[in-house]
């Protein structure tokens, strides 16, 4: 059973516009959420995270929103740049005592110049 | 430079021929894990290790073995590879200090093909 889901396998966005990537989870015990970015032929790299005690976290052009009641998080990229074209994975884990991360299936983001 | 190093990057092998994929990290991280990435399935955890001599099964451990004799190394062993183990494999490490679930550092991946 897929506990973390990314329902959009791909997304195309015009350069300069907002990219919104979505992620849903089913396990209410998750209390820490992360986004990873992956370029071809490279390993995933950490992008941004959010703890369940917050509903928003910003880092430059990247903002993650968490809606605990809906078990939904989203990543906003504003403005989108060609270098943002990559596969994005959301992951869910625990704040204390358990390092295990459960990953979603990924969304391939393509930024159109 | 902080990094996780996997070897080899690419490997083609035949069914049943034992192989080992090495993973080494230089960040003194306690937690290490192996994932496989398959189309439509994302990253799935194979095995993980909380520290030296402490390993446990992840979500898809069948057909794999691991060992953690030293803190920096976490090799993945396929005793008798089968074609359904053809996949892209990633090793990752993270620290268990602080708040936990800290961001994991990933290796560059090993693309394995079993024919």
For the segment B70-97, what is each residue's pLDDT rounded down to a tens digit?
999 999 999 999 999 999 999 999 887 6
Give A107→chain B minimum CA distance, Å: 9
What is the pLDDT at residue A97? 60
Stretches where chain A sits below pLDDT 70 are 1, 96-98
CA distances for B25 relative to B73, B102, B111, angstroms: 7, 16, 19
Contact residues, chain B to chain A, C-beta under 8 Å: 4, 31, 33, 35, 40-45, 48, 50, 58-59, 90, 92, 94, 96, 99-109
Q: Which residue has tokens 């394995």?
A: B112
Q: Which of A2, A34, A44, A104 is the best substitution to test chain B (most B C-beta atoms within 10 A)?
A: A44
Give the residue on A whose Cα is nearest the Cα of B36: A103
Mutate to test the interface with B, among A33, A99, A105 (most CBs of B within 10 A): A99
pLDDT of residue B99: 52
- State residue B8's pLDDT score: 97
Does the beta-carbon distance from B45 to A101 stay under 8 Å?
A: yes
Tokens representing B41?
A: 């399935």
pLDDT at B67: 96
Task: Give the pLDDT of residue A38.
Answer: 96
Give the residue carrying structure tokens 């509903």: A55
The strand pair at B105-106 and B87-94 is best described as antiparallel
At A98 the pLDDT is 63
Restricting to A residues 65-94, those with a Cβ less than 8 Å away from any Cβ of B are 89, 91, 93-94
Rounded Cα–Cα distance for residues B115 and B112 (Å): 10
With b meaning 16 or more CB within 10 Å and e meaning fewer, what string describes A92-103?
bbbeeeebbbbb
pLDDT computed for residue B20 by the predictor: 98
pLDDT at B103: 79
Subunit contact A106:B42, Cβ cutoff 8 A: yes
Which distant-in-sequence residues (6+ apart) come within 8 Å of B55 by Cβ? B47, B48, B49, B66, B67, B68
- The span from the CA of B40 to the CA of B48, in Å, is 22
Give the pLDDT confidence score for residue A88 in this predicted structure: 98
């Amino acid at each position: 059973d897929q506990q973390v889901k990314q329902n959009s396998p791909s997304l195309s966005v015009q350069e300069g516009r907002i990219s919104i990537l979505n992620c849903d989870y089913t396990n209410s015990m998750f209390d820490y959420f992360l986004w990873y970015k992956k370029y071809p032929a490279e390993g995933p790299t950490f992008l941004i995270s959010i703890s369940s005690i917050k509903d928003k976290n910003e880092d430059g052009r990247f903002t993650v929103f968490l809606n605990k009641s809906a078990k939904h998080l989203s990543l906003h990229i504003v403005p989108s740049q060609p270098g943002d074209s990559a596969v994005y994975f959301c992951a869910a884990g625990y704040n204390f005592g358990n390092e295990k991360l459960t990953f979603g299936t990924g969304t391939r983001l393509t930024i159109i110049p | 430079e902080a990094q996780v190093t996997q070897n080899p990057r690419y490997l083609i092998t035949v069914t049943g021929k034992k192989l080992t994929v090495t993973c080494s990290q230089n960040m003194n991280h306690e937690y290490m894990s192996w994932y496989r990435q398959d189309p439509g399935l994302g990253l799935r955890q194979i095995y993980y290790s909380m520290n030296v001599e402490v390993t446990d099964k992840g979500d898809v451990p069948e057909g794999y073995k691991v060992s953690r004799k030293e803190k920096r190394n976490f090799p993945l062993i396929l005793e008798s590879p089968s074609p359904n183990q053809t996949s892209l494999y990633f090793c990752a490490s993270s620290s268990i200090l602080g708040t936990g679930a800290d961001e994991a550092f990933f290796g560059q991946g090993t693309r394995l093909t079993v024919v």
